[in-house]
Amino acid sequence: MSGPRRTVSACPDCGHDDPEDLGALPDASTFAGQALATPLPGGRLRRCRRCDLRWRDPPLEPAHYTALYDNSRVDVWKPGPLRRDQRLVLDHLGRLPAGATVLDFGCYTGAMLAALPQGLKRFGIELNQAAAAQAREHAGAHVVATLAELPTGQRFDCIVAMDVIEHVPSPRGLAAELMSRLAPGGRLVLTTGDGRNWLWRRLRSRWWYCAWPEHIAFISPLWLLAHAEGLGARCVELERFNYLDRPEQGRVKRWRQFLRWWWLPGLEARHRARRMQRLGSDAPEDGVPGLGLTADHLLVVLEPLPGSPTQPAASPR
């Protein structure tokens, strides 16, 4: 082997510095629904051999992501049917007593907050200022751009982060920050893609979920095993689910496209280019095939371990 030695970054979550290389990620021409003037380089997909985190290497600078997300693009407010993950989370939140506080981290336009039962107090964190304004209006929520803007001592009975943890460079760092904001007996509910999904392990860096440039880090059940205790948490629920509401609809077509992508990627890329051309330049990017084939998402519920250092000491009776 010859040529300059490429620097490989250490695992953002545990620091282990000998990751597995899962291959090249595609360059991106759009980000968060907006066309980019210059394509973003995809980088490589790495997997930590110690904690099983997968991540995009190298990620962009945090300030670059902040600018890309606050792009004022908001699809028209539709109080329409909730997504499957939002319904799963709502089922969970229905068990909260009246007066409980719920923080939706990455609440976007507030669709989930607006659907909460009456009597729960609603809070949101949203970087996209146009989306945050909609969440305030439609969900009656107190919404700010970052967690730091909420008073340090403010804690919540439930914190939800749906489709968020894959957007940050260190899922462990975010989980630790959110755990520290739980009220005694509170719960942290996460949904995200499952890094150990059986098809993803075969497709490696060509899996649909890691092709989206906004997605930069991916957890798995093994990651939870590696990090829960260090986070002062225990996992009380772990559920795999299919992101699509009705995965049986169009299943044959989706599998055909997916198998073509797996075995004849050039042919599928040409098919996709023709499809996008037909739909016109305003059509949303439809990504590479793979969505909806399997239960490739996770719903995770974490609870603080009794006596964990992130929790305030119980008041004496």
Of the candidates 215, 80, 71, the one whose C-alpha atom is nearest the C-alpha of residue 131 is 71
Which one, 11 or 188, has the nearer CB to Zn ion? 11
Contact 259, 200 (CB under 8 A): no
| 231 counts as binding Zn ion under rule CB under 5 A | no
Which element (helix H / strand E) includes 261? Answer: helix 251-263
**What type of residue sits at position 242?**
N
User: Smallest gap, in angstroms, from Cβ of residue 49 to Zn ion?
Assistant: 8
Q: Give Cα separations from 261 to 87, 270, 292 (angstroms).
A: 31, 10, 15
Beta bridge partners of 105: 125
Among 22, 25, 40, 51, binds Zn ion (CB under 5 A): 51
- Of the ranges 16-24, 166-174, 212-220, 301-309, which one interacts with Zn ion (CB under 5 A)? 16-24
Among 9, 16, 28, 138, binds Zn ion (CB under 5 A): 16
| 14 counts as binding Zn ion under rule CB under 5 A | yes
Beta bridge partners of 123: 103, 142
User: Smallest gap, in angstroms, from Cβ of residue 130 to Zn ion?
Assistant: 36
Q: What is the DSSP string of 174-227?
A: HHHHHHTTEEEEEEEEEEEE-TT-HHHHHHGGGSHHHHSTT--EE--HHHHHHH
98-137 mask for Zn ion (x: CB under 5 A)?
Answer: ----------------------------------------
| 228 counts as binding Zn ion under rule CB under 5 A | no
User: Smallest gap, in angstroms, from Cβ of residue 91 to Zn ion?
Assistant: 32
Among 22, 48, 107, 216, binds Zn ion (CB under 5 A): 48
Which positions lie near Zn ion, rule CB under 5 A?
11, 13-14, 16, 48, 50-51, 53
